[in-house]
Homo-oligomer: A and B are copies of this chain.
Amino acid sequence: MAEPVFLRACRGEVVDHVPVWFMRQAGRSLPEYRALRSSGSILEAITDPTVASEVTLQPVRRYGVDAAILFSDIVVPYYAIGFGVDVVPGRGPVVAEPFAHRGDLERLRDLTERDVDYVAQTIELAVGELRATNTPLIGFAGAPFTVASYLVEGGPTREFAVIKSLMHTNPALFDQLMERLTAITVDFLRLQVAHGASALQLFDSWAGALSRDEYQRFALPATRRVFDGVADLNVPTVLFGVGTGELLDLMAGSSCDVVGIDWRVDLDEGRRRVGDRATQGNLDPARCVATEAVALEATREVLRRAGTSAGHIFNLGHGVLPQSDPAVLAAVVKVVHDEGRAGVR
């Protein structure tokens, strides 16, 4: 079978249509998801391979997107090794005892396949079904800095004052933390590929809270080591963050294949900043909660600024908002497929 368009676009090849998928395409915006998950916590759904694989497949069936992404959460490996993480509805990941001292490094033991056997099973179940439509599955993990921000802050933050204080006052301990997170992340990503994932995305969602100097010193080295740790697997890799306009050139230097771009940076300018890497983005998710006309006008503007289908994957600039209308997202997919045509970059 021909290699899927999504994978070829990640490698910068000229393809006959622009591939599209949506961050958080699986989940709360879909009625079939809400029907399936009428009760129980999100971690219960993630750790049940039957539920999680079904949720992974729902948006592929509904939208005909060019890639599935594993239904999971960036804190899953840390939940799995017993660090004490929960995902609280309406708030996000919460850590009962945040990382604070050297002694906490011991709580970050290596991840084994047994810890996350449900992830392996979810991927195998999903990939089994995706074969029929030759749709690739994207595995993912949180990048070490973004994961560290949750483990150190104890939950979501707007200020990043605790993690920044740690990096600046105790860089040795911060580096040890990042080393542990890097090892766990590499093992977790390799496991996903071993069971059928054919691309990998690293979510460094909060990297945009850092200055360029901080990003280069404290976040980028670990990100680079993660990509180095999966390089021999020869699957395309995507690096994504929000508010990273100042960092795009540095992110492109991480040896990822694709750089995700949020809606704040015009895509033509974003493509200039990432140089010879492919790009993914960058429709504002807020445009998909108004009317179809509003979403499609913005979709066409993104396609226009992308310039060509070579080395671009259409996506949102951040995750699908729960209040999005699935019919609007379906219309976006249709326009990308119909109007995002081939061209030379």
Measuring CB to CB, which residues of chain A are less than 8 angstroms from any residue of chain B?
159-161, 164-165, 168-169, 208-213, 243, 245-246, 263-266, 269, 284-287, 289-291, 294, 301, 321, 323
Contact = CB atoms under 8 A, between A and B. Distances in A.
B164 A290 contact: yes
B246 A284 contact: no
Number of copies of chain A assembled together: 2
A195 to B, nearest CB: 34
B165 A289 contact: yes
A165 B294 contact: yes
Nearest to A208: B264
A91 B167 CA distance: 27
Given A245-B245, A245-B246, A284 B321 contact: no
B286 A165 contact: yes
A275 B106 CA distance: 51
A210 B265 CA distance: 10
B161 A286 contact: yes
22 contacts: A159-B286, A159-B321, A161-B323, A164-B284, A164-B290, A165-B286, A165-B289, A165-B290, A168-B287, A169-B290, A208-B264, A211-B263, A211-B264, A212-B266, A213-B301, A243-B264, A245-B245, A245-B264, A246-B264, A246-B265, A246-B266, A246-B269
A290 B168 contact: yes
Contacts of A169: 290-291, 294
A161 B322 CA distance: 11
Contacts of A265: 246
A161 B169 CA distance: 38
Contact of A164 (B165, B210, B264, B287): B287
A242 B287 CA distance: 21
A165 B301 CA distance: 17
Contacts of A159: 285-286, 321
Chain B CB count within 10 A is highest, among A168, A210, A266, A323, for A168
Nearest to A295: B168
Contacts of A210: 264
A173 to B, nearest CB: 13
A3 to B, nearest CB: 33
Contacts of A284: 164, 211
Nearest to A168: B294
Contacts of A212: 266
A208 B263 CA distance: 11
A161 B289 contact: yes
A144 to B, nearest CB: 19
Chain B CB count within 10 A is highest, among A161, A263, A265, A287, for A161
Contact of A161 (B208, B266, B321): B321
A274 to B, nearest CB: 15
Chain B CB count within 10 A is highest, among A165, A210, A266, for A165
A258 to B, nearest CB: 21
A18 to B, nearest CB: 20
A224 B212 CA distance: 31
